Amino acid sequence: MRISDTKRNVLFNYMGTGVNVLVPLLALPWYISLLGMKNWGLISFIWLLQSLLGILNAGIGQVLVSKFSKLAHQDNAQREVAELFFGFEKLYWAVSFVVGVIIMVLSEKIAIIWLQPAGVAIADGQKVICAAGLIFLLKFPVSVYQSALFGLGLQGSYNIASSALMLFRHAVAVLLLFVWTNIETYLIWIVVSFSIESIVLGYMSWQRVGVQYFTFQWQFEKVKAVLIVSLGFSFAVIVAMLTLQLDKLMISWMLPIEQLGYYAIASAVGIGVIQIADPITRSVLPTISRLQSDSVSLRVFNFKVLSMMAAIICMVGIVYAVAGEWLVRIWLKDEHLVEVVMPVLTVLLCGSAMNALYAVGNINWVASGRSSRVLIINISGLIVAVILTPIMIKHYQLVGATFPWVALNFIGLLLGFDWIKKGKSRKQ
């Protein structure tokens, strides 16, 4: 991949990320006004479950992107690409079906154990958890389609399709809620929309692979080889995801469900803002993977990526300092919401700034297979968060729940610049 290709992919990824971040944020005030804060808290619990279940894809997605990217630049590798993609598509659909069904079967017990202490009726909790299981069943395979399209050089096509689907999902959801104002309407439509997304992205992926679907047989050895490579990163990412969701888990258990709704609003911006940098990380990973043997070029490229990250942090910081509260007030149109959300949002943004700064180190660890470094950071963050988060929530409520995010990224910031020293030693 040439540097110009990387820049083009960054632009496409920014387009996709911009739509995927802004559309839900713009729709959020409508959801709250039409459904109420309690229902929004229940919906936030659905997306919390999706994030937790995402650990099943932990680390595998990045390894698949790297693998597909390398195969795409080899001669006569089309068949190997197709076999790898076929194997993982089968695996992901099997996992999504099994896990989705288990969640639906256990929905009543989950509602009693987790949501009843937060003041949710068992019937309402069971309904929401069943919907979460069905959504996961349809949503999880999208991960393998995304990995294939990114690795095979169709980042532009993926972002166009993903943006259109995101806009379609939320625009129709808001319109339907104006006609049928209840949480069941939202849940049914979200299930339908993810069905459409899986079909569209699955079709695009097979078109790019360019080999007929029914010409393959299951070859677990090809899948197993990638899974083994991803094991170290999978464990590290799982630990990180548990740390990042610990705040919401604690809130949903220790505080009324409405408080999870409030926190989800701040989190959508405060942690979601790192998606501004995500297009860069997704675009440069294939390039950094291929530059591992050229230390001089790799170090130069890493500094370029770091410069882009720093520029993003400065831009977001200036905008937030000058007009942050004003923008939040215009967005939410509710003084009470603004009063609750702003302190939480400010702390979460500080954590996000640290995350963007050490992202270059994280990308290099993934590309070079140094999963131990990621694991050290994530385990340290999880241990600290598990011990202190309940105490922080007890004393500082929602602001205290931000502790896991800040702690994890502070540790990452302390350890995330080893690539500079390594690059100097190689160059010398």
d(CA 133, CA 225): 29
SS3 for 224-281, per residue?
Answer: HHHHHHHHHHHHHHHHHHHHHHHHHHHHHHHCCHHHHHHHHHHHHHHCHHHHHCHHHH
Ramachandran sector of residue 218 (left: φ over 0; alpha: ψ -120 to 50; beta: rest): beta
262 vs 259: CA distance, rounded Å: 5
Sign of CA dihedral 319, 323, 325, 328: negative
What is the CA 4 to chain-centroid distance, rounded? 26
Give the contacts of 243 (CB within 8 A, at least 6 positions apart).
378, 381, 382, 385, 404, 408
**236: CB partners within 8 A, 6+ apart:** 59, 371, 374, 375, 378
Phi, psi at 152, each rounded to 5°: -95, 10
Residue in the structure block whose two tokens are 């992202």: 359
Angle at alpha carbon of residue 223, lines to 217 and 228, rounded to 5°: 160
Tell me the pLDDT tens digit for each residue of 367-425: 776 667 777 777 887 888 888 888 888 888 888 888 888 887 888 888 777 767 655 54
SS (H, E, C) the chain: CCHHHHHHHHHHHHHHHHHHHHHHHHHHHHHHHHHCHHHHHHHHHHHHHHHHHHHHHCCHHHHHHHHHHHHHCCCCCHHHHHHHHHHHHHHHHHHHHHHHHHHHHCHHHHHHHHHHHHCCCHHHHHHHHHHHHHHHHHHCCHHHHHHHHHHCCCHHHHHHHHHHHHHHHHHHHHHHHHHCCCHHHHHHHHHHHHHHHHHHHHHHHHHHHCCCHHHCCCCHHHHHHHHHHHHHHHHHHHHHHHHHHHHHHHHHHHCCHHHHHHHHHHHHHHCHHHHHCHHHHHHHHHHHHHCCCCHHHHHHHHHHHHHHHHHHHHHHHHHHHHHHHHHHHHHHCCHHHHHHHHHHHHHHHHHHHHHHHCHHHHHHHHHHCCHHHHHHHHHHHHHHHHHHHHHHHHHHHHHHCCHHHHHHHHHHHHHCCHHHHHHHHHHC
Question: Residue 168's pLDDT is what?
Answer: 93
Look up the pTM and report it: 0.75
Q: What is the structure's pLDDT at 143?
A: 86
Length of the chain: 428
Amino acid, single-letter form, for residue 328: V
Beta-carbon contacts of 115 under 8 Å, excluding residues fewer than 6 positions away, are 45, 122, 124, 125, 128, 129, 252, 257
Enter the tokens of residue 12: 């496409």
Distance CA 196, CA 363 (A): 32
Identify the pLDDT of residue 428: 40
**Dihedral through CA 161, CA 163, CA 168, CA 170, nearest 10?**
150
For residue 254, give every residue at least 6 positions away whose Cβ sits within 8 Å of its Cβ, in sequence order, or none. Answer: 390, 393, 394
Q: Which residues of the chain have pLDDT under 70?
A: 1-10, 12-13, 72-77, 117, 212-219, 229, 232-233, 236, 279, 282, 286, 369-371, 419, 421-428
Question: Alpha-carbon distance 342 to 16, whole Å?
Answer: 27
Tally Cβ neighbours within 10 Å of residue 419.
Answer: 22
Nearest of 246, 240, 274 to residue 376 by alpha carbon: 240
| Domain range summary for the chain, segments of one domain joined by + | 3-427
* pLDDT recorded at residue 7: 63
Output the pLDDT for position 427: 43
